[in-house]
Amino acid sequence: MKIIAIMNHFGVLAKEAPIEELHKKLLAENYRIIYPEDVDDLMELVDNNAKVCGVVFDWDTWSVLLPKNISGLNEQLPMYAFSSQRTQLEIDVDDLGLNLHFFEYAFDAVDEIAARIQRGTDAYFDAILPPFTKALFRYVDEGKYTFCTPGHMGGTAFQQSPVGSLFYDFFGANTMKSDISVSVSELGSLLDHSGPHREAENYIADAFNADRSYMVTNGTSTANKIVGMYAAPAGSTILVDRNCHKSLTHLMIMSDVTPIYFRPTRNAWGILGGIPRSEFARETIEARVKQTPGASWPVHAVITNSTYDGLLYNTDYIKQTLDVKSIHFDSAWVPYTNFSPIYKGLCGMSGTRVPGKVIYETQSTHKLLAAFSQASMIHIKGEFEEETFNEAFMMHTSTSPHYGIVASIETSAAMMKGNTGKRLMENSILRAVRFRKEIKKIKASSESWFFDVWQPEGESLAPCCWNLTPGAEWHGFKNIDEGHMFLDPIKVTLLTPGMDKQGKMEEQGIPASIVAKYLDQHGIIVEKTGPYNLLFLFSIGINKTKALSLLRALNDFKRDYDRNAFVKEMLPSVYEQQPTFYAGMRIQELANGIHKLIRQHKLPELMFRAFETLPTMVMNPHAAFQKELHGEIEEVYVDEMIGRVSANMILPYPPGVPLVMPGEMLTEENRPTLEFIQMLCEIGAWYPGFETDIHGAYRQPDGRYTVKVIKNVQ
């Protein structure tokens, strides 16, 4: 649908009649015409309706101010100014860089005017479409016949079969026709970086402030491996955030490297406070190299930025001080940071090159921008060996990439470019801040309990990244460095009752997992659930309706909780896990039951201590996995883990941070780690439906958990 907005000067016949003619003509050409009431109405329309592809207005009334304002929202949007013949143009509009076309109010010129508007629309679409996507659209439009893979042949194979036809109709013709083989030469190649693919990479690098960008069609899981394979040769030592994504553990399993872990701090809620500055210091690294068997000075470092809870580092400081050849910021969760000034100095690609260092940033485009699943990017700043890097790239890339994913990666970059992208970011930041204020307001006016938000105190929260200043009470971190960590406003952490800021457990509480299950039942998926905290992401896809429905669901939870509804009624999916157990149980009994278990086990303290002392690395992850492949492993109960070397990574969700890495041994000193795992198992055993998913631990029919350890190594 193409929409043209017309702002005319009504009441003057000489002006009304030509516009009326134009209206008819444009309708015949499949445009929809909208007449905004006033300038505000027009701006609202342009801001909120992405299908507007032109604005017609009366120059004599509005002159240059109107197009300037519109351009602030979308500098590419064509504008058509009508003026009566006598008006002189007072300014040279070309100088302003406005996409402005002039017409005179005249009779019998409508065909010519409509034709020029159509050309304007075509040029507009051409200007906003990025190169690869444009080439793909064109290819599909031309409807060429191919005799190569994929075997569905533009969908025709599906249509030969009854079930295939259902599939075809569900996904639609363009999904089929745009799924084409690498042998279509006019689209270039993702693996050779040629043709429109290469143009897309350049386009993306330009948008993301990188020297070089790569599109990855198998997620940041793969992007991380590509970067690591290239930056850390076998035998080298690397610095790895202990709070790393499992793809980095997989990298260390594939490549024979020695890890030294950065140790992030955490607060009582289990929110990770990031890696303190002392961890980046030369002396700390020197001491760790000495303690670690087989380690040498690290060549490469990997840092999760932002953390899972939305904390961003002052990356400038890290880039300047950390003494390694290359630094990789795993920014899977923040692909948008280059498009708002509030993230300046807090992301991998911000600023200029750092002499003698290569900076990598990997982003899951699909996570918080608009792209298909698995869409990911690698951005690089600094000198690197392009051909060797490409060997690592190709090693992890299918020789048959999905062009729909490629086009979506590129289109997400196009969406973020220019003023329209800036508006998208501004709106999502404002929406998040508004939501935060709303929660605070309800809490302040509520006589009993309500959810709280994790954010700086004070009424007037500016829409920016909030510094975790040392000593400030709200964040709950004891030793935070000045100017080091910042909270991203769009990552909203809600707190449930049960624990205060110092980690003191209250008499009564509502564990967050219960709220998460309730929200799930109401069609709202929580991003991450801690013991008493829930994370929500206000990405560009969150509109007013979605924010409101979350607010409503939280209110509904409070209402149902306060009237002490039955579990069966409030959490039917939990009830169904074991109807006999939950029969007659009410929500407050369930909440307090789990809360009591958490209190008994001193969860906050235990979690803190569980991550405080790292297990001992007996062999690196690569060697441990090789042992597993050679069958040199056995299964033991979790309780028998002390003194044994784990073959796998053990990682509970929540908090989604590895507790034990492959090749590591728990010693007596690590008893809290073991107790933490045991506690997670116990909650699940007591309350069906509340089992923690523990990667690397296997639940046996008797309800106990086992892990795989390496034989004959103690």
Ligand X SMILES: *Cc1c(COP(=O)(O)O)cnc(C)c1O
Binding positions for ligand X, rule: CB under 6 A: 219-221, 224, 245, 247, 304, 330, 332-333, 364, 376
Nearest approach, Cβ of residue 18 and ligand X (Å):
54
Question: Max Cα separation, the chain?
Answer: 96
Nearest CB to ligand X, comparing residues 359 and 554: 359
Nearest approach, Cβ of residue 374 and ligand X (Å):
6
Nearest CB to ligand X, comparing residues 279 and 330: 330
DSSP class of 355: T
Nearest CB to ligand X, comparing residues 661 and 710: 661
Helix (H) or strand (E) holding 706: strand 705-710
> First-to-last CA distance in the chain?
68
Nearest approach, Cβ of residue 243 and ligand X (Å):
8
Residue 183 to residue 192: CA distance in whole angstroms? 12
User: What backbone phi and psi angles, to 5 degrees, belong to 265?
Assistant: -90, 170
Nearest approach, Cβ of residue 221 and ligand X (Å):
3
Residue 312, beta-bridge partner list: 486
Nearest CB to ligand X, comparing residues 326 and 364: 364
Residue 367 to residue 378: CA distance in whole angstroms? 14
CA torsion angle 594 595 597 603 (round to 10): 120
Nearest CB to ligand X, comparing residues 237 and 304: 304
Q: For the chain, what percentages of helix, strand and coil (3-state, to nearest 5) are there?
A: 45, 20, 40
User: What backbone phi and psi angles, to 5 degrees, belong to 39?
Assistant: -65, -40
Closest to 593 measured CA to CA, from 676, 692, 688: 688
- Neighbour-count burial of 281, counting CB atoms closer than 10 A to its CB (0-12 exposed, 13-18 middle, 19+ buried): middle
Task: Name the residue with the smallest CB distance to ligand X.
Answer: 219
Nearest CB to ligand X, comparing residues 301 and 710: 301
Nearest approach, Cβ of residue 247 and ligand X (Å):
5
Nearest approach, Cβ of residue 217 and ligand X (Å):
10
CA distances from 668 to 641, 643, 663, 675 (A): 10, 8, 17, 11
Q: How many CA atoms lie within 13 A of 237 on its CB side?
A: 17
- The dihedral through the CA atoms of 496, 500, 503, 509 has a sign that is negative
Query: What three-state secondary structure class fits 624?
Result: helix
Nearest approach, Cβ of residue 22 and ligand X (Å):
48
Nearest CB to ligand X, comparing residues 330 and 488: 330
Structure token pair of residue 361:
């940033």
- Neighbour-count burial of 594, counting CB atoms closer than 10 A to its CB (0-12 exposed, 13-18 middle, 19+ buried): buried
Nearest CB to ligand X, comparing residues 83 and 265: 265
Q: What is the DSSP string of 273-314?
A: EE--GGGGSHHHHHHHHHHSTT--S-SEEEEESS-TTSEEE-
Nearest CB to ligand X, comparing residues 371 and 650: 371
Nearest approach, Cβ of residue 208 and ligand X (Å):
16
CA torsion angle 250 253 257 261 (round to 10): 50
Nearest approach, Cβ of residue 19 and ligand X (Å):
50
Contact 544, 525 (CB under 8 A): no
Closest to 355 measured CA to CA, from 325, 330, 387: 325
CA gyration radius, the chain: 29
Contact 301, 322 (CB under 8 A): yes
Closest to 190 measured CA to CA, from 274, 276, 132, 270: 132
Nearest CB to ligand X, comparing residues 398 and 714: 398
Residues 429-444 as b or e (16 or more Cβ within 10 Å = b):
bebbbebbebbbeeee
Nearest approach, Cβ of residue 339 and ligand X (Å):
19
Nearest approach, Cβ of residue 393 and ligand X (Å):
15
Closest to 413 measured CA to CA, from 376, 386, 359, 380: 376
Nearest CB to ligand X, comparing residues 374 and 620: 374
Query: What three-state secondary structure class fits 623?
Result: helix
Contact 710, 627 (CB under 8 A): yes
Residue 569 to residue 190: CA distance in whole angstroms? 52
Nearest CB to ligand X, comparing residues 237 and 364: 364
Nearest CB to ligand X, comparing residues 219 and 696: 219
Nearest CB to ligand X, comparing residues 304 and 338: 304
Nearest CB to ligand X, comparing residues 499 and 657: 657
Nearest approach, Cβ of residue 330 and ligand X (Å):
5
Nearest approach, Cβ of residue 224 and ligand X (Å):
6
Nearest CB to ligand X, comparing residues 82 and 261: 261
Nearest approach, Cβ of residue 270 and ligand X (Å):
17
How long is the chain?
714
User: What backbone phi and psi angles, to 5 degrees, belong to 559?
Assistant: -60, -50
User: What backbone phi and psi angles, to 5 degrees, belong to 299?
Assistant: -100, -20
Structure token pair of residue 160:
């030969």
Nearest approach, Cβ of residue 578 and ligand X (Å):
32
Nearest approach, Cβ of residue 333 and ligand X (Å):
5
Q: Which residues contact 20 (CB under 8 A, 6 or more apart)?
A: none
